[in-house]
Amino acid sequence: EAGVAQSPRYKIIEKRQSVAFWCNPISGHATLYWYQQILGQGPKLLIQFQNNGVVDDSQLPKDRFSAERLKGVDSTLKIQPAKLEDSAVYLCASSLRDRGPPSYGYTFGSGTRLTVV
């Protein structure tokens, strides 16, 4: 079974520029999550999708961050404009269950490491 695919692996941008990250979940997984992990901290949930609908985006900074999952498969996370404090690793995960995380945990993609200078 192929894992969660993310791209790009690394991105360096200047502050106030825009950036987009892509995630392709495990085939058939209904639920998709985007996490932000700042250096030295645990991952923090940004947004959770069930199919193409948003379940939880309470911690997404909506003035600059947006995410979509139009066909209920791939997802894109965008930051516009970026700030220095957005430097982090952006992790995508998916789960088979149609609501909530599975009892066995879930699998992360390898992440996109963003550096804002």
Q: Which of 19, 88, 106, 116 binds other proteins (CB under 8 A)?
A: 106
Q: Are 113 and 7 in contact (CB under 8 A)?
A: no
Return d(Cα 23, Cα 109) in angstroms, integer. Answer: 8
Among 1, 2, 41, 53, binds other proteins (CB under 8 A): 41
Q: Are 114 and 19 contacting, i.e. CB atoms less than 8 angstroms apart?
A: yes
104 near other proteins (CB under 8 A): yes
Which one of 14-22, 38-46, 60-68, 79-87 is the stretch in contact with other proteins (CB under 8 A)? Answer: 38-46
By CB under 8 A, residue 99 contacts other proteins: yes
- The answer to the question of residue 105 lying near other proteins (CB under 8 A) is yes
Q: Is residue 65 a contact point for other proteins (CB under 8 A)?
A: no
Smallest distance from the beta carbon of 40 to other proteins, in angstroms?
A: 8
Q: How far is the CB of 16 from other proteins (least distance, A)?
A: 27
**CA-CA distance, 93 to 113, in Å (whole number)?**
15
Burial of 34 (0-12, 13-18, 19+ CB in 10 A): buried
